[in-house]
Each structure stands twice: as C-alpha cells, then as structure tokens.
Structure 1
C-alpha cells in the first residue's frame, strides 16, 4: 500500500476480499474518486488506458546507497556520530575479509522441533555495511531475501527483507573482530538470535536461534557456484527432522552457549 493512512481517510475498503472484488468486477462509482485521490490521479486518469500505472505505482526511486531503509530516523546526532564510528569503511572492509563468503545456516524457531535451513552469501561491501542475499523454505514455498549487516558496539545487526515484501526480519550476533576466539575459528561460524513474522493467521512475531557456518569452496569452485550448489541442496532438504541423522548434533551446536573468553583452568 502506497499510503495506508490516506487509504483509510478516503474511506476505502480494508478487506482484501472487497479490494479483490473491485479489481476483478469493477470499482463502484461511489469509490472512484477515493481510489483516484489515494493513487495520486484524477477519476479520468484512473479510467484512462494511457495512464502508465507501472511508473505511477513504482513510487520514489531509492538509490542503492540510500540508508533510509536501514537507519532509524529521529534518534539525534549521537546516533549518526556512533554509526560513523562503528561502521567506518576500513572496519567494514576488515570485517568482510573475515566474513565474506557462503554460509549454511541452521535455525530453531521457538516452540518448533524442526531445524530449518537457510543459505546466505555475504557478497559485497557497500560503504558502511555488508550486503547479503539468502534463501529458505517455509510452508513449502521458497523465500529469497536481501540483507544488510552493520556493527553497533560489540554486536552485528542483520536486517533482511524477503522478496515478497511481507517478511522483514532482524538478527543479532557478536562482532567477531571484538572477540579473538571467535575470529580465529576454522571453519568460521557464529551463533545468533533473530525475530521475524511466521506468516500465520495470528500474525504474532516469533524468535529463533541460529548457527551459521562459513563454507569453503572446493578447488576451482567460485563462490557463485558454491552458492548455487548449497542453495540447491537447501531446496531439496529444507529442514532436519527429529530422529534423522545429525539432528541431535546440529541441535546441540545451535543451543550450546557461545564461549567468547578463554577458559581459566
């Protein structure tokens, strides 16, 4: 919806069934002017075949480097100052040299025994953040997503948005550059916690815990080839069920508390 508050103010229907009926069977004359106003046109423009709706509904263009979708606004100068401090380009480049690559993520949703799988690729640095793409299967449907990773204090924050535009998720994990034991792991892996929509009727947010491990490509294999291979395997085996091989081992890996400091004898 381009502008939900304006939609409501114009008295337009909130029921998807009514909106769908208007689209299929035609808009009642009593709602024509309201639809036109909300869509930024006139009744004549709404009915004209010459109106370029693809362009009109696209809305404002957002450049690749626009931070408006990532950084909260209205938090004052301190936020901007800290953001530049924590995410200076040289630091993000160092972080990418460690974290860049393809990952196998296994995660446990709160209250669900199945271990779900996701594949993600930390593929690029863009100024003060890293760009990531990924995918997972939920309810038999594949969900592709784009994500950004940035640092705040001693942690990394992930924002991801699914391709369908319906699921906006959030994850946190430790910043490996702030913890020497984590930085030295081979293979490299991280534990973390996330929150998102589950897509059920009750619309309640859910939490999940995850373990993501960096994969090492075989000799001669590019990261893109590794990404494609791992994504294909994830599609074939989107989750690990109780009782199947490796279930208990992987579940234990996800749930075992992280060790961030050397153990003292």
Structure 2
C-alpha cells in the first residue's frame, strides 16, 4: 500500500495570522478569482512562490502554514518570519496588526495621481481657482494643529485624531493627519484646494488603503467662519472604509484648531496632539460625555458654529 504524501509540518496559529493579515490588506482569497483584490491577481503572490490554488490557500489558513511556505508568506506580507511563528503574538493582537499596517505603509508608493488624467480645461480652472496669492492667504488662516473628532454614520462611535496644516505649495495646501483606529496608528496625507465656494480636502492613508474627499466652505469667503473662536471647520464627505474593504464610509468631522500651548514649534505641537489622541482614541455611546461630543460633531454646519 502506498504511504502517500508525507504530512506537512505546520505552524500552530499561523493560518489565523495569514487570514487576519489578508483582511487588513483588503485582499480576498476565495473562489472568485476575478475579484479586483484577489491574491492571485497580485503579481507578488506568484513571485513569492505561493499557492496557485485557492483550495491550498484555504487549507493553509485552516490548518496552519507549512514550514516550506512560511518564508514566502512572510515575504509577501513584508513581515518577519518570526512574527508568523511566535505563538505569544496572536492574530488579533495589537502588535500583529501594527506590524502588518507598518509593512503595508512601507511597501506602498506615496505618489498618488491627482489631476493628471483630467481634461486640460479642468486643470486650468483648478489653477485659476487657486492662485498663489489666494493659497498664501489661506495658509495664513489655516496653518496649525487641529484636534479631529470623526463619526462614520450610522455608527455613533466618535474617533479622535489630529491634523497638521503645514505647507503652501503651487495651487494647494498640504496637511497630514493621524488617527489611532482599532489598535493601530493610521497616518494620512492631504491636499487642500478651492473649487467654487468650497474647500476640497483630498486625502489618502500612507499605506494607500484609504482614499477620501472631505468638503467644507471656504473660510476666506465668509467673515464669520474665518473669525470663529476657537477656529474650527465642519467637514463632510466619503472615503474608503477603514473597516470593510468592500464598502465606503460617510464621514462627518469636526476640526478644531488647538491653542498654542507649551509647544511653540508646530511639529512638537502635532506630536503632542498625536499622543493625546492615543490616550482616548474612541468615545463610545456609553461614555458620559458621548452625547455632548456627538452633538458637537453632527450639529457643526459650514455657516454655523458648534453649539
């Protein structure tokens, strides 16, 4: 009687880690090969010598990764092999999620096309809306560090973060933002420009997982908005979901500029705001101040104020 193939030595818990990592990356591995984010459509999957059969992938997830493919999976995820082997780091732990997010961020290209594919008439109008004299004046008003409170309806959780408007460039402002979300730190890059009577804030996460657009009214066109004390902006828009890769989020956000405080340097002030956001990343409906803070976010309107 033929002994058959020898049983593979598999790493306990590593299959769950592969599943979790693919979920974080927004990749699928089921039988719908044509799905845009399927692992078999990623050229690096084959380069790393990983299985061409979805049945084999499912088996590795269910039973654990075999030693012979461990290096390939680690290379594809851009994480150390030891992270897949270490039973002290569970699949749903914060350290594992942070490692996958950090690897994804490092591997991603930071050059996201903005208007290159648009018609020339669009570009001419965009530049006409944002002459350098206007951009400089806008930067003089918006420059600084902001505390962010974001809500993704219908969820009623409030997510805290911060942002830094730090540079005026040709026809736009540049900003960055930070949000601790579900046990990991997400950092964003943003471009701010005027179109018509509104400011458009196009942003993406540095790992290129999320791309979104927020709008608010142009404060230079509204004396009352420009002179709010404390200065704040009410923003609304849409973005790729931070939780589920196959849908999108509606976003309501209140950005309130912080007082100078003890840190006079903007970079130091922003770092302090990031630390503050980490202390309380989420305000839950059961928290005693939730109703008041949620009302501030949802009641903030472009031409109004914060109640």
> Does the alignment reach a TM-score above 0.5?
yes
CA distance in 1: counterparts of 2:40 and 2:117, whole angstroms: 35
Which of the numbers 29, 33, 46 marks the counterpart of 1:22? 46
Which of the numbers 194, 208, 226 marks the counterpart of 2:269? 226
CA distance in 2: counterparts of 1:224 and 1:80, whole angstroms: 32
Cα drift, residue 84 of structure 1: 2.2
Are the counterparts in 1 of residues 178 and 186 from structure 2 also a CA contact under 8 Å? yes
CA distance in 2: counterparts of 1:119 and 1:261, whole angstroms: 22
Specify the SS of the correspondent of 1:255: helix
Are the counterparts in 1 of residues 136 and 168 from structure 2 also a CA contact under 8 Å? yes
Specify the SS of the correspondent of 1:209: strand
Which of the numbers 181, 184, 206 marks the counterpart of 2:227? 184
Partner residue, 1:41: none
CA distance in 1: counterparts of 2:115 and 2:41, whole angstroms: 36
> Does residue 1:260 correspond to 2:306, yes or no?
no
> Does residue 1:142 correspond to 2:142, yes or no?
no
TM-score by length of 2: 0.63
> Does residue 1:250 correspond to 2:293, yes or no?
yes
User: What's the CA shift string for 1:121-151, capped at 9, x where partnerless?
Assistant: 0001011100001111222221111111000
CA distance in 1: counterparts of 2:186 and 2:257, whole angstroms: 21
CA distance in 2: counterparts of 1:151 and 1:104, whole angstroms: 22
Do the aligned partners of residues 90 and 23 (structure 1) sit closer, same or farther apart at CA in structure 2, a change above 3 Å counting?
same
CA distance in 1: counterparts of 2:135 and 2:264, whole angstroms: 26
Do the aligned partners of residues 261 and 164 (structure 1) sit closer, same or farther apart at CA in structure 2, a change above 3 Å counting?
closer
Alignment size in residue pairs: 216
TM-score by length of 1: 0.72
Do the aligned partners of residues 259 and 82 (structure 1) sit closer, same or farther apart at CA in structure 2, a change above 3 Å counting?
closer
Say which is worse superposed, 240-249 or 252-261, in terms of deviation.
Answer: 252-261
CA distance in 2: counterparts of 1:160 and 1:150, whole angstroms: 12
User: What's the CA shift string for 1:227-251, capped at 9, x where partnerless?
Assistant: 0111011122111112324322211
Over aligned residue pairs, what C-alpha RMSD do you find? 3.0
> Does residue 1:203 correspond to 2:246, yes or no?
yes
> Does residue 1:113 correspond to 2:156, yes or no?
yes
Q: After the TM superposition, which residues 91-106 of structure 1 pair with which residues of structure 2 at under 5 Å, given as runs?
A: 91-106=134-149
Cα drift, residue 259 of structure 1: 6.2
Partner residue, 2:117: 73
CA distance in 1: counterparts of 2:229 and 2:46, whole angstroms: 58
